Structure 1
Amino acid sequence: MADGGIFGEAMRQPPVNLEAEQNLLSAILFNNKVFFKVDEIVEPQHFANALHGRVYELCRKVINAGRQADPITLQPMLDGDVLLGRLSANEFLLTIATLLGSAVMGEDYAYAIRDAWIRRCLFKACSNILDRCCRPGAESGPEIVDALETDLLELARGTDEALPTYSLEHSMQQARIAAEEAARRGNGLAGITWGYRALDRMTGGLMPSAMYLLGARPAMGKTSLGFGIATRSAAAGHSVLFWSGEMTAPQLGARAGAAWANLSTQSVFTGRRYDIPEDMETGEREPLSDWQWRDLEEGERKASALALQIDTQPRVTVAKLRSRARRMKRSKRGLDLIVVDYVGLMSAGSVYEDQRTYERITKVSGQLKQLATELEVPIVVLAQLNRESERREDKRPMMSDLRDAGALEQDADVILLLHREHYYLKKQLDSGLVRKDKESSEDYANRCSEFAQRVIAAEGKADVLIPKNRQGPEGTCHLRFTNRTTWFRDVSEDELSPAWVVKKQEAGG
Structure 2
Amino acid sequence: MEADFYGSVLRQPPENLAAEQSLLGTILFDNRALATVDDIVGPEQFASALNGHTFGLFRKIIYSGNTADPITLRSMLDGHILLGRMSLGDYMQALLGSVIGVPAAPSHARAIRDTWVRRCLFKICTETLDRCARPGEDGASEIVDALETGLLDIARGTVEAAPTHSLEDAMRSARQAALDACQRGTGLAGITWGYRALDRMTGGLMPSAMYLLGARPAMGKTALGFGIATRAAAAGHSVLFWSGEMTAAQLGARAGAAWAGLSTQSVFTGRRYDIPEDVETGEREALSGWQWRDLEAGERAAATLPLQIDTQSRITVARLRSRARRMKRSRAGLDLIVVDYAGLMSSGSDYADQKPYERITKISGQLKQLATELEIPILVLAQLSRETERREDKRPMMSDLRDSGALEQDADAILLLHREHYYLKKQADAGVTRKDKESYEDYTNRASELVQRVNQAEGRADVLIPKNRQGPEGTCHLHFTNRTTWFRDTSEDVNGPAWCRPE
The TM-score, its normalising length taken from structure 1, stands at: 0.97
Q: Structure 2 CA distance, aligned partners of 1:8 and 1:315?
A: 34
Deviations 1:433-492 (A, max 9, x none): 121121111110111111101100000000000000000100000000000000000000
Q: Distance in 2 between matches of 1:442 and 1:8?
A: 88
Correspondence for 2:473: 474
C-alpha contact 2:462 2:477 (8 A) present in aligned 1? yes
Match of 2:252 in 1: 253
Counterpart residue number, 2:139: 140
Q: List per-residue Cα deviations over 1:195-252 (Å, max 9, x = no partner).
A: 0000000000000000000000000000000000000000000000000000000000
State whether structure 2 residue 35 is matched by structure 1 residue 27: no
Corresponding letter in the other structure for 1:349: G
Corresponding residue SS for 1:52: helix
Contact 1:15 1:116 in 2 (8 A): yes
Q: Which residue of 2 aligns with 1:408?
A: 407
Tell me the CA shift for residue 9 of structure 1: 7.4
Q: Report the equivalent of 2:339.
A: 340
Aligned position for 2:47: 48
CA separation in 2, counterparts of 1:496 and 1:6? Answer: 73
Name which of structure 1's ranges 482-491 and 95-104 shifts more when overlaid on structure 2: 95-104
1:107-186 aligned at under 5 Å gives the runs: 107-186=106-185
Question: SS of the counterpart of 1:404?
Answer: coil
Partner amino acid, structure 1, of 2:21 = Q
CA separation in 1, counterparts of 2:168 and 2:347? Answer: 40
8 A Cα contact 1:236 1:501, kept in partner: yes
- 1:285-304 to 2 correspondence within 5 Å? 285-304=284-303
For 2:303 and 2:501, the matched residues in 1 are separated by 10
Displacement of 1:503: 6.5
Distance in 2, Cα, partners of 1:339 & 1:393: 32
Partner of 1:105: helix, strand, or coil? helix
Q: CA deviation at 1:102?
A: 2.7
The residue correspondences of 1:441-452 to structure 2 (distance < 5 A) are: 441-452=440-451
Structure 2: distance between partners of 1:254 and 1:139: 36
Please name the residue that 2:419 is paired with.
420
Aligned partner letter, 2:177: A
Gaps of at least 5 residues in structure 1 are: 505-509
Instruction: Give the total of aligned pairs.
Output: 501
Measure how far apart 1:101 and its partner are. Answer: 2.5
Q: Aligned partner of 1:381: which letter?
A: V
Alignment deviations for residues 311-349 of structure 1 (CA, whole Å, 9 cap, x no partner)? 000000000000000000000010000000000000000
User: Matched residues, percent identical?
Assistant: 72
Q: Is the 8 A contact 1:348 1:364 kept in 2?
A: yes
Structure 1 equivalent of residue 352 of structure 2: 353
Map 1:65-84 to 2 at 5 A: 65-84=64-83
SS in 1 for 2:102: coil
Which segment is superposed worse, 91-100 or 45-54? 91-100
Superposition deviation, residue 94 in structure 1: 2.3
Which consecutive residues of structure 2, in runs of 5 or more, have no partner in the other structure? none
Residue by residue over 1:408-428, the C-alpha shift from the partner in whole angstroms, topping out at 9 and shown as x without a partner, is 100000000000000000000
Aligned partner of 2:435 in structure 1 is 436
Distance 2:328 2:287 in 1: 40
2:272 paired with 1:273: yes
In 2, are the aligned partners of 1:147 and 1:350 still within 8 Å (CA)? yes
Q: Distance in 2 between matches of 1:312 and 1:87?
A: 58
Q: Deviations over 1:60-81 (max 9, x none)?
A: 1111112211112211111121
The amino acid that maps onto 1:38 is V
Aligned counterpart, 2:374: 375
Asked if 1:85 corresponds to 2:84, the answer is yes
What is the distance in 1 between the residues matched to 2:165 and 2:394?
Answer: 45
1:178-327 aligned within 5 A? 178-327=177-326
SS at match of 2:250: helix
- Offset of 1:8 from its aligned partner? 6.2
Question: Over aligned residues, Cα RMSD in angstroms?
Answer: 1.3
Aligned residues of 2:21 and 2:94 also touching (Cα < 8 A)? no
SS at match of 1:76: helix
Partner of 1:507: none
Q: Is residue 271–residue 288 contact of structure 1 (8 Å, CA) maintained in 2?
A: yes
Whether the 8 Å CA contact 2:26–2:99 is kept in 1: the answer is: yes
Q: Could you tell me the TM-score, scaled by structure 2's length?
A: 0.98
SS in 1 for 2:484: coil
2:485 maps to what in 1? 486
In 1, Cα distance between equivalents of 2:470 and 2:69: 47
Question: How far apart are residue 5 of structure 1 and its match?
Answer: 12
2: CA distance, partners of 1:293 / 1:430: 34
Moved more, 240-249 or 65-74: 65-74
Q: Counterpart of 1:198 in structure 2: which amino acid? A: A
| SS state at 2:214 partner | strand
Q: Name the CA distance, whole Å, in 1 between partners of 2:335 and 2:4.
A: 44
Paired amino acid for 1:310: I
| Counterpart contact for 1:302–1:502, Cα < 8 Å | no
- Structure 1 CA distance, aligned partners of 2:158 and 2:338? 26
Instruction: Indicate if the aligned counterparts of 1:272 and 1:287 stay in contact, CA closer than 8 A.
Output: yes
Q: Give the Å deviation of 1:401.
A: 0.3
User: Offset of 1:103 from its aligned partner?
Assistant: 2.2
Aligned partners of 1:502 and 1:389: how far apart in 2? 36
Alpha-carbon distance in 1 for matches of 2:15, 2:318: 28
Distance 2:501 2:185 in 1: 18
